[in-house]
Amino acid sequence: EHGASVHFVTEEVDAGPIIIQARVPVLPGDTPETLAARVLVEEHRILPQAIRWFMEGKLSPNADDGQ
């Protein structure tokens, strides 16, 4: 299984709080290109959702700090 995540950016690489994730199955016969294409579809779905939640005030970049 593979996937995509949207998270807040911190100083440490890939260490920010995760906002949303999507799972992408690895199918028999997948190539790096076919898997990457399906991951891209999910990225294009979840990134706008994360942006909407942020703009609606449903997310805080400091949520892990209790703010």
pLDDT tens for each residue of 10-33: 999 888 999 999 999 999 999 999
Alpha helices in 1-67 (DSSP H): 32-55
Residue 2 within any structural domain of the chain: no
Tell me the one-letter amino acid at 45.
R
What is the tally of structural domains in the chain? Answer: 1
Residue 42 within any structural domain of the chain: yes
Residue 1 within any structural domain of the chain: no
Q: What is the pTM of this model?
A: 0.79
Residue 46 within any structural domain of the chain: yes
Residue-range definition of the domain harbouring residue 56: 33-62
Residue 47 within any structural domain of the chain: yes
Residue 26 within any structural domain of the chain: no
pLDDT of residue 66: 42
Question: Tokens representing 25?
Answer: 């199955």
List Cβ<8 Å contacts ≥24 apart for 44-48: 46/4, 46/5, 46/6, 46/20, 46/21, 46/22, 47/6
pLDDT at 65 over 70: no
Residue 50 within any structural domain of the chain: yes
